[in-house]
Amino acid sequence: MRHFAIVGSGPAGFYTAEALEKAYGDQARVDILDRFPVPYGLIRFGVAPDHQSLKAVSKRYDKVAESAGVDFIGNVSIGRDVSVAELLDFYDAVILATGAPHDRKLGIPGEDLPGVVGSAEFVGWYNGHPDFADLNPPLGGTHAAVIGNGNVALDCARILSKTRHEFEGSDIVGHALDALDGSALKTVTILGRRGPHQIAMTPKELGELGHLEAAVPIIQTADFPPVEADEPLEPGLRKSVTLLRGFSDLPADKPKRMVFDFFAKPVRIEGDGRAERIIVERTELDEKGAARGTGETYEVPASLIITAIGYSTSPIPDVPFDGGKFVNEAGRIGDRLYAVGWARRGPSGTIGTNRPDGYEVADQIAAARPAGSDEGRGGAEGLKALLGSRGIMPTDYDDWRKIEETENANARPGSPREKFVRPDHWLQAIGR
Ligand code: NAP
In this predicted structure, the answer to whether residue 119 has a pLDDT above a threshold of 90 is: yes
Q: Is 118 in the pocket of ligand 1 (CB under 6 A)?
A: no
AA letter at 289? G
User: Whose C-alpha lies nearest to ligand 1, atom 15?
Assistant: 309
Query: Closest Cα partner for 421 from 176, 172, 133?
Result: 133
Separation between Cα atoms, residue 86 and residue 40, nearest integer Å: 24
User: Whose C-alpha lies nearest to ligand 1, atom 21?
Assistant: 148
Q: Is 194 in the pocket of ligand 1 (CB under 6 A)?
A: yes
Distance 295 CA to ligand 1 centre (A): 25
User: Whose C-alpha lies nearest to ligand 1, atom 2?
Assistant: 150
Q: Is 147 in the pocket of ligand 1 (CB under 6 A)?
A: yes
Query: Closest Cα partner for 12 from 362, 365, 386?
Result: 362
Ligand 1: atom nearest CA of 104 is 15
Q: Express each pLDDT in 9-35 by its tens digit.
A: 999 999 999 999 999 999 999 999 999
User: Whose C-alpha lies nearest to ligand 1, atom 16?
Assistant: 309
Residues 6+ apart with CB under 8 A from 84: 78, 94, 96, 316, 317, 318, 319, 337
Q: Please compute the mean of the pLDDT values over residues 30-53 and round it to a whole number.
A: 97
Q: Express each pLDDT in 290-341 by its tens digit.
A: 999 999 999 999 999 999 999 999 999 999 999 899 999 999 999 999 999 9
Ligand 1: atom nearest CA of 107 is 18
Q: Is 50 in the pocket of ligand 1 (CB under 6 A)?
A: no
Q: Express each pLDDT in 375-426 by its tens digit.
A: 899 999 999 999 999 999 999 999 999 999 999 999 999 999 999 999 999 9
Q: Is 308 in the pocket of ligand 1 (CB under 6 A)?
A: yes
Distance 216 CA to ligand 1 centre (A): 22
Q: Is 312 in the pocket of ligand 1 (CB under 6 A)?
A: no
User: Whose C-alpha lies nearest to ligand 1, atom 4?
Assistant: 150
